[in-house]
Amino acid sequence: MSVKTSEDKYIQRDRMRYIKNSACSNLCYLGLLADVFYFVLLYRQDVHTYYYTIQIGASVVYNLIFMLAVFLASEGVKNYKKNYSIVLLVAGVMQIVRIFVMPLKALRAPTTVNGIDTTVMSGKTFTLCLVYLGVSAAALLFSAALNFIRCSALEAHLKELEQTKA
């Protein structure tokens, strides 16, 4: 691996003035995609009427809000908007919280299918939900952190350029 000189670092910072923050925005899309896999998996579960409660309604509404917010944030971080890191941070934390709401409760809820005692959600499905929500959360949190670091670096660089000009 080549050693980065101070000039290389300077150019890397300077490039941010013209290059979109596509790494962060792509991480947002990854978070969205994992979320889509999660709720498709969750909503296709059809064990009696366990899921048909007010909770599933709230979950659908949250999903809509989540997707809208993350999509907006993906456009924001693409243009180095620091505040969208907060939106992504909240969305990422909420994805972790969601693991403990529906999937975990469904995993622990007992039911009977064709006279056999079982749980509403199988262990395998729960693991998949865990992976999807985990990936989504990780992508969003990483995107939030990376965007914050890059925006701060760009701010400092622009300030430095202004001072040089003056």
Partner 1 sequence: MAELSLQHIDKIYDNKVQAVFDFNLDVKDGELIVLVGPSGCGKSTTLRMVAGLEDISNGRLLLDGRDITQTPAKDRDMAMVFQSYALYGHMTIYENMAFSLTLRKENPNVIHKKVLAAAEILGLTSQLNKKPAQLSGGQRQRVAMGRSIVRNPKVFLFDEPLSNLDAKLRGATRREILLLHKRLQATMLYVTHDQTEALTLADRIVCMSMGHVQQVGTPLELYDSPNNVFVASFIGLPPMNFYDVKVAGDALQGNGFKAALTAEEKKILAAYQGKEISLGVRPENFIEGDDIKVTVTNNENLGMNTLVYGSLGDTGVKVTAKLKGWKNYKVGDTAGFSIVRKHFFDKETTNAIRGDK
**DSSP states of 54-119:** HHHHHHHHHHHHHHHHHHHHHHHHHTT-TTHHHHHHHHHHHHHHHHTTHHHHHHH-EEEETTEEEE
Q: Which is nearer to partner 1, 5 or 49 (CB)?
A: 5
Residue 145: Cβ-neighbour burial (10 angstroms; 0-12, 13-18, 19+): middle
Choose which of 1, 3, 18, 114 interacts with partner 1 (CB under 8 A): 18
* 8 binding partner 1? (CB under 8 A): yes
Q: How many residues in the shown chain lie near partner 1 by CB under 8 A?
A: 8
Residue 100: Cβ-neighbour burial (10 angstroms; 0-12, 13-18, 19+): exposed
* 46 binding partner 1? (CB under 8 A): no
**Contact region for partner 1 (CB under 8 A) — 10-18, 35-43, 49-57, 121-129?**
10-18
Residue 115: Cβ-neighbour burial (10 angstroms; 0-12, 13-18, 19+): exposed
Q: Which is nearer to partner 1, 18 or 166 (CB)?
A: 18
Q: Which is nearer to partner 1, 16 or 138 (CB)?
A: 16
Q: Which is nearer to partner 1, 16 or 90 (CB)?
A: 16
* 75 binding partner 1? (CB under 8 A): no
Choose which of 17, 48, 105, 108 interacts with partner 1 (CB under 8 A): 17
Query: Whose CA is closest to 92, among 40, 26, 143, 149?
Result: 143
* 14 binding partner 1? (CB under 8 A): yes
Q: Which is nearer to partner 1, 17 or 105 (CB)?
A: 17
* 22 binding partner 1? (CB under 8 A): no
The CA R_g of the chain, rounded to the nearest whole Å, is: 21
Provide the binding-site residues for partner 1, judged by CB under 8 A: 8, 11-12, 14-15, 17-19
